[in-house]
């Protein structure tokens, strides 16, 4: 995949967040989908993941708590995919669909949904995603995790850390496994969390891969995976 396309899909820190994307590319049976397959992006912002799914020929609903069309439609027009994507506002704790989607995807969203220690809203979102998926449907997720104590200290420098509710891997495992029959969870990234420069972050990633093998999974700052409804 060309780097320009990768940037458009992932929006920020694309060298880092491409790890979940490559995992989804490998693990999902994309060949099973046809022109009638439907997908939903939650918390879309500029609609990067909606672009990725539309490039795979899925019909996509690009959603956020406020309708993202103004921000996202320019990107989709750039790739001539406006006919594959519609826009709406959706509250992830109250998704107005049932047994409808083949794929639901979100990136760095649960922390905001559960802001100010509202873990109940994160649980409700998982329940709603399960409800909205068809049998055999995929929930693809990638989140900034609770991570190590060092990460937690570093994040206190960020203004959003006062309210953002970073999910723990154990939390996701427990509540996803309550609803979904097939759940795979991975984690990635240690040093890269402290690097803001994109080019330098790319150079650090091979070292991060070594840290992933040496350190506990719950010390990594990205948690990602797949949950499948069977």
What is the model's pLDDT at position 160?
78
Looking at the 3D structure of the chain, how many domains does it have?
1
pLDDT for 199 equals 83
pLDDT of residue 101: 98
Decide: helix, strand or coil at residue 46: coil
Helix, strand, coil percentages for the chain (3-state, nearest 5)? 50, 20, 30
| Per-residue pLDDT, 80 | 96
CA-CA-CA-CA torsion sign (4, 227, 190, 207): negative
Question: Length of the chain in residues, anyone?
Answer: 230
Half-sphere exposure of 223 (CA within 13 A, CB side): 25
pLDDT tens over the chain, length 230 residues: 888 999 999 998 888 899 999 999 999 999 999 889 999 999 999 999 999 999 999 999 999 999 999 999 999 999 999 999 999 999 999 999 999 999 999 999 999 999 999 999 999 999 999 999 999 999 999 999 998 888 898 888 888 778 899 999 999 999 999 999 999 999 999 988 888 888 888 888 888 888 888 899 999 999 999 999 98
Q: What is the pLDDT of residue 50?
A: 98
Expressed as residue numbers, the domain containing 180 is 3-228
Q: CA-to-CA distance for 135 and 44, rounded, in angstroms?
A: 24
CATH no. for residue 175?
3.40.50.150
pLDDT, residue 198, reads 82
pLDDT at residue 48 in the model: 97
At 105 the pLDDT is 98
Please indicate, yes or no, whether the overall pTM of this predicted structure exceeds 0.85: yes
**Checking phi first, is residue 77 left (phi over 0); if not, alpha (psi -120 to 50) or beta?**
alpha
Which pLDDT score, from 0 to 100, does residue 196 have?
Answer: 80
The residues near 14 (Cβ < 8 Å, ≥ 6 apart) are: 3, 6, 7, 198
pLDDT at residue 12, as a whole number: 86
């Amino acid at each position: 995949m060309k780097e320009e396309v990768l940037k458009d899909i992932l929006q920020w820190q694309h060298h880092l967040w491409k790890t979940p994307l490559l995992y989804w590319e490998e693990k999902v049976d994309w060949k099973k989908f046809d022109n009638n397959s439907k997908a939903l992006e939650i918390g879309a912002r500029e609609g990067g993941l909606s672009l990725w799914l539309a490039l795979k020929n899925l019909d996509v609903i690009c959603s956020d708590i406020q309708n993202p069309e103004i921000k996202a439609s320019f990107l989709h027009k750039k790739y001539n995919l406006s006919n594959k994507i519609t826009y709406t506002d959706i509250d992830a704790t109250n998704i107005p669909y049932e047994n409808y989607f083949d794929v639901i995807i979100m990136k760095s969203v649960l922390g905001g949904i559960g802001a100010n220690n509202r873990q109940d809203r994160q649980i409700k979102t998982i329940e709603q995603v399960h409800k909205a998926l068809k049998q055999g449907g995929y929930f693809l997720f990638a989140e900034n995790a609770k991570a190590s104590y060092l990460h937690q200290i570093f994040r206190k420098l960020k203004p959003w850390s006062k309210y953002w509710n970073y999910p723990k891997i154990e939390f996701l495992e427990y509540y996803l496994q309550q609803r979904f029959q097939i759940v795979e969870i991975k984690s990635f990234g240690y040093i890269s969390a402290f690097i803001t420069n994109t080019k330098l972050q790319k150079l650090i990633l091979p070292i991060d891969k070594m840290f992933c093998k040496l350190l506990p999974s719950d010390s990594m700052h990205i948690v990602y995976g797949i949950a499948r409804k069977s």
